[in-house]
């Protein structure tokens, strides 16, 4: 079984709210008439795969992918005014639940959360998991510039730990965004940078000790985390400011989960060798321009791993984590 844990979908209710207006996220059109979702620092072209769940299934079949863990992509609902964000999250999650039911188990969505109102986000996560049957929640690496290690976000992490469900942490444009506004640097460089910073802060803040049992997924191969693990450990040993965690940073990174959305097998193999094959899963970033269903499968097929190890990455790890 092949399970793709990093891909994106816009529920119909979310798109209708944005197109209607009155949101921070804006709808537009490109020169070819494609719908755009526009936000500070970046934009997304709304491909057919972003909005048509039946069309997606035909693409999965062509690629040999059996199931997907669906997530809402940037900009999320957290950039909106709190009341609007709460409304959009609930409507989106109800849409996700309908899609999952219709798919016969091929779609396993994660909840969109109104992170600008952390207590409401925690309540929405509980509702989405216990009432709608969703498999966890999606966080973003910063919430309008606020870092996830701040005390105000503890209710979301505590809810996830209590429910025993994973949180998929997806990057968004770093704040301030000015350095990333040209050349699509938000997507190519900013996202991986923000993931790296977010997880380093979660570790060094002590949050992962204070809320044990958290199941966290770091997207895009964990950003730079596999390549900086040794340096983070040296910081822990050298700097008084880095002494709050009870263990070395690399120990926490070896308990974090990752998707393989970096389609070079040499790079993926290094990350797996550093952090452990039990922590890695297939990811496509479909249907973004920068994603690929075919490459998501091929990069794992091309890894210099044993067949049992490839089976872990292809589906067993995801099945265990998400209950797909």
Among 24-33, 107-116, 289-298, name the one with the lowest average pLDDT: 24-33
Name the band, by pLDDT with cuts 50, 70 and 90, for residue 296: very high
Q: For residue 4, give the nearest of 104, 129, 106, 93 by alpha carbon.
A: 106
For the chain, domains (ranges, CATH) are 3-322 (3.20.20.140)
Contact 5, 315 (CB under 8 A): no
pLDDT digits (tens, 9 = 90+) for 217-226: 999 999 999 9
Give the confidence band of 116 by pLDDT, cuts at 50, 70, 90.
very high
CB neighbour list of residue 239: distance below 8 Å, 6 or more residues apart: none
| Kind and range of the H or E run holding 222 | helix 219-222
Q: Do 253 and 222 form a contact (C-beta atoms < 8 A)? A: yes
* 142 contacts: CB under 8 Å, gap ≥ 6: 148, 172, 174, 175, 194, 198
**Model confidence over 143-185: pLDDT tens digits?**
999 999 999 999 999 999 999 999 999 999 899 888 998 998 9
The predicted pLDDT at position 41 comes to: 67
List of E strands, the chain: 3-8, 26-29, 35-39, 42-45, 67-71, 137-140, 142-143, 146-147, 166-170, 215-218, 257-259, 280-281
Q: Rounded to an integer, what distance in angstroms lies between the CA atom of residue 295 and that of residue 305?
A: 17
Query: What letter would DSSP give residue 150?
Result: S
Q: Which residue from 37, 42, 33, 39 is spatially nearest to 9, judged by alpha carbons?
A: 37
* Mean pLDDT value of segment 221-248: 97
Distance (Å, rounded) from C-alpha 35 to C-alpha 48? 10
Q: Is the peptide bond before 45 cis (omega within 30 degrees of 0)?
A: no
For the record, the structure tokens of 286 come out as 């479909």
> Mean of the pLDDT values across residues 135-143?
97
Which band of pLDDT confidence, cut at 50, 70 and 90, is reported for residue 274? Answer: very high
- Cβ(181)–Cβ(189) under 8 Å? no
Report the C-alpha gap between 141 and 321 in whole angstroms. 21
Phi-psi region of 64 (alpha: psi -120 to 50; beta: other; left: phi over 0): left
């Amino acid at each position: 079984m092949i399970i793709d844990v990093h891909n994106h979908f816009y529920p119909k209710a979310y798109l209708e709210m944005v197109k209607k207006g009155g949101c921070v996220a804006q709808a537009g059109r490109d020169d070819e008439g494609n719908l755009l979702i526009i936000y500070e620092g970046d934009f997304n072209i709304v491909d057919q795969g972003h909005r048509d769940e039946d069309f997606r299934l035909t693409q999965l079949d062509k690629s040999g992918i059996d199931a997907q863990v669906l997530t809402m992509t940037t900009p999320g609902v957290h950039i909106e005014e709190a009341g609007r964000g709460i409304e959009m999250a609930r409507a989106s999650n109800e849409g996700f639940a309908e899609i999952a039911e219709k798919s016969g188990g091929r779609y396993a969505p994660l909840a969109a959360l109104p992170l600008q109102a952390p207590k409401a986000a925690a309540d929405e996560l509980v509702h989405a998991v216990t009432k709608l049957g969703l498999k966890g929640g999606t966080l973003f690496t910063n919430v309008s510039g606020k870092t996830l290690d701040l005390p105000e976000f503890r209710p979301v992490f505590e809810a996830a730990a209590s429910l025993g469900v994973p949180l998929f942490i997806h990057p968004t444009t770093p704040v301030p965004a000015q350095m990333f506004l040209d050349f699509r640097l938000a997507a190519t460089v900013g996202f991986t940078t923000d993931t790296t910073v977010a997880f380093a802060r979660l570790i060094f803040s002590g949050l992962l000790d204070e809320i044990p049992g958290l199941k966290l997924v770091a997207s895009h191969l964990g950003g730079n985390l596999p390549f900086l693990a040794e340096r983070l450990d040296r910081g822990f040993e050298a700097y008084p400011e880095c002494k709050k965690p009870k263990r070395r940073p690399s120990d926490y990174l070896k308990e974090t989960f990752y998707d393989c959305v970096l389609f070079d097998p040499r790079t993926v193999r290094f990350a797996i060798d550093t952090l452990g094959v039990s922590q890695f899963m297939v990811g496509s970033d479909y249907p973004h321009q920068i994603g690929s269903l075919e490459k998501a499968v091929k990069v794992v097929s091309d890894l210099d791993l044993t067949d049992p190890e490839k089976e872990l990455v292809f589906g067993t790890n995801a099945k265990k984590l998400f209950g797909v």
